[in-house]
Amino acid sequence: MIDAHCHMLPGIDDGSKDVAMSLEMINRSVEQGVEGIIFTPHFYADMNSPETFLRKRDKALAELEANLGRLPQVPVYTTGAEVHYFRGMSRAQGIESLCIGKSDYMLIEMPFRNWQPNMIDEIEEISIVLGLRVIIAHIERYFDQDKKLVNRLLENPNLLIQCNAEFFIEKSTYSKAIKLLKTRRIDLLGTDSHNLSTRRPNMAEALEIIEKKDKKDALGHIYRSGRRLFEAAL
């Protein structure tokens, strides 16, 4: 399984605080059956330019890579960003550099304030005008938004939908997660892990739950989507 969304790079955002934590997070992920990891630190346009962000990300990755030999097994990995939505992002200079690896896939976190139709228009423009493949991060966090606007994302065949493992693990959201899974509208799975305690790597817990309910090979769809993403990124 591919972890399509996590914050395991050391010292770059509110995720892993240092290399030691990063190594343990990666090790736990491998033990849980994760074969590939996409490091997606937060990108906020009002805090960094893409160029500044990439320098920080490259530095964090270099620090991690210098220590990966300490692990018993190193998964395949690549880098991207969790790009927080901002107005005008479809026309922002250098936005393409935030795609995952060498691919044209970009992970976007939608705003948590009330959505407006023009926000969805902007996402669609990124896909149409720039030719990028947009991945909507942790879709489960937006279900209190206008249903029509959420459905515009879910029904757009050009967008990929990512959900967090927690979506399946939490009893309060489990039923909704399974329903979305059965309609094959979940394309990618991520842990969104930030640390070793409150937001830890938890892929195995989610997979165990999914496997019990997966009658239509929806997990196979998620696996294949992850592999296609990795093949494009490397």
Is domain 2-233 in CATH 3.40.50.620, yes or no?
Answer: no
84 membership: H or E segment, kind and range: strand 82-84
Dihedral angle computed from the Cα positions of residues 27, 229, 184 and 110, in that order, rounded to the nearest 10 degrees: 90
Q: What is the C-alpha separation between 7 and 9, in angstroms, rounded?
A: 6
Tens digit of each residue's pLDDT (9 = 90 or more) over 48-103: 999 999 999 999 999 999 999 999 999 999 999 999 999 999 999 999 999 999 99
pLDDT digits (tens, 9 = 90+) for 137-173: 999 999 999 999 999 999 999 999 999 999 999 999 9
pTM of the shown model: 0.97
Structure tokens at 126: 């990124």
Number of residues assigned to the chain: 234
Domain spans, the chain? 2-233
At 66 the three-state DSSP class reads: coil
pLDDT digits (tens, 9 = 90+) for 30-45: 999 999 999 999 999 9
Sign of CA dihedral 125, 128, 132, 134: positive
Q: What is the dihedral of CA 124, 127, 133, 134, to 10 degrees?
A: -30
Rounded Cα gap, residues 38 and 211, in angstroms? 23
Q: What is the pLDDT of residue 184?
A: 87
Q: Provide the 8-state DSSP code for 207.
A: H
